[in-house]
Chain A
Amino acid sequence: MKMKLCKKLLKKNNILAISSGGGHLMELLSSLEEIDKSQVVFVVNKTGHTKETLKKFKHYFIIDPHISKIKYIINFIQVFLIFLKIRPNYIVSTGAGIAIPMILLGKICGSKIIFIETGARIFEPSKTGKFVYKYADLFLIQHETLKKYYPKAKVGRLI
Chain B
Amino acid sequence: MILCLLGTNPYDFSRLAKAVDELAKDLEEDVVIQLGNTKYIPKYCKYFDFASKNEIEKLMKEADIVITQGGYGSMTDAIILNKKVIAVPRLQKLKEAQDNQVELVEYYDSKGYVKACFDVNELKDFIKKIREKKIVFKPYENENIKKISTLIKEYIYEN
Binding site for B on A (CB under 8 A): 15, 21-24, 26-27, 29-35, 47-49, 52-53, 90, 92, 114, 116, 118-120, 122-124, 138, 140, 142, 154-159
Contact = CB atoms under 8 A, between A and B. Distances in A.
Interface string B59-84: 00000000000011110110010000
Interface centre among B52, B77, B149, B155 (most CB of A within 10 A): B149
Interface in B80-104: 80, 99, 101, 103-104
Contacts of A21: 8
Given A26-B77, A119-B72, A31 B148 contact: yes
A33 B9 contact: no
Contacts of A140: 148, 151-152
A45 B10 CA distance: 12
Contacts of B99: 120
Interface of B: 7-10, 36, 49-53, 55, 71-74, 76-77, 80, 99, 101, 103-104, 107, 140, 142-143, 145-153, 155-156
A158 B51 contact: no
B126 to A, nearest CB: 23
Contact of A156 (B55, B74, B104, B147): B147
Contacts of B50: 47-49
B52 A22 contact: no
A123 B103 CA distance: 8
A47 B8 contact: yes
Contacts of B152: 31-32, 34-35, 92, 114, 138, 140
Given A52-B52, A122-B103, A23 B7 contact: yes
